[in-house]
Amino acid sequence: MPRRARFRGAGRSLAPARTPSAAYARSVRPQVGDLVRFKIQRGRSQGKLSNVLEAAAWSVVAEPQETHLYSSTLPPENPIQSVGGSGFRDNLEPPLTSRDEISSQALGLRVRRDEAGSNTEVGRAHVEATKGANGGPPHIHLHQEERFIVHTGVLLVRRRRERLHVGAGGDVRIPPRCVHTWRAEADSTFTVEFRPPLRIGEFFRDLFALPTDRRGNPRVGDFARLMRAYPDECLYFPYVPIPIQRALAVLLSKLGSPPH
């Protein structure tokens, strides 16, 4: 006869003893979970409900950064690819003057909208990025294709599972709903295009106006209000259904107070 399963506390509980595999499965959690639990506990100890809600929200929508994404040595299965020029030479040089300029010291970016090169089909802007400047955590654009055209310096672009090393004269396209981000490997200048433009200029203007931490991340409540104001242009987190993110934005937009 097969041996009976061992039980804890005879006569008290019928739950079988935990097997090593089950215990191991419960112990395997993302590092972001430990950080979120720490923030929730700290928020509770400080009696701040906003801290608890903010940490819980990021535990749902935030994706942990890959430590090797921007390192000098990348995994062999994801080699850096060199992207050459595509012969695109129309309006590559940034204009000398611009009426619409936004900048972020925390992000290390200065963006100048190209009025002459923008129309109803494409929105174009010229970007100056210091070494280490980046496009934030991996994200997607719902309806827009994004294109980077590098003039000077080097951009390391993540496009899905690709790691693309884009130098001067090179360009790369990001289709809609494609997970991507980027980082400047050196002081760089490049042109970014969005097709169709929608209200992307107004979105980034309001995004750069938000108060941020040292890393350039806005507060959750502020970003939630921005998502509600620009549902088609906002940067969405991958792997989380869009309706859930928008529903969370409705709740999280109550955190803090909007800037006057």
Q: Are 223 and 210 in contact (CB under 8 A)?
A: yes
Residue 123 CB burial class (10 angstroms; 0-12, 13-18, ≥19): buried
Instruction: Give me the pLDDT at residue 105, please.
Output: 85
Instruction: Give me the pLDDT at residue 212, please.
Output: 86
Instruction: Give me the pLDDT at residue 243, please.
Output: 96
Enter the tokens of residue 249: 């934005």
What architecture does CATH give domain 80-206? Sandwich (2.60)
Task: Find how far residue 32's CA is from the centre of its chain.
Answer: 15
Instruction: Give me the pLDDT at residue 57, please.
Output: 46
CA distance 163 to 255: 36
Domain boundaries, the chain: 80-206
- For the chain, the straight-line distance linking the first and the last C-alpha, in angstroms and rounded, comes to 76
**pTM confidence score:** 0.63
Instruction: Give me the pLDDT at residue 215, please.
Output: 79
Instruction: Give me the pLDDT at residue 71, please.
Output: 33
Rounded mean pLDDT for each run of 10 residues along the chain, 260 residues in total: 49 44 43 46 49 46 37 36 40 43 89 91 96 93 97 96 95 97 96 96 93 86 96 95 96 76
Instruction: Give me the pLDDT at residue 106, please.
Output: 83
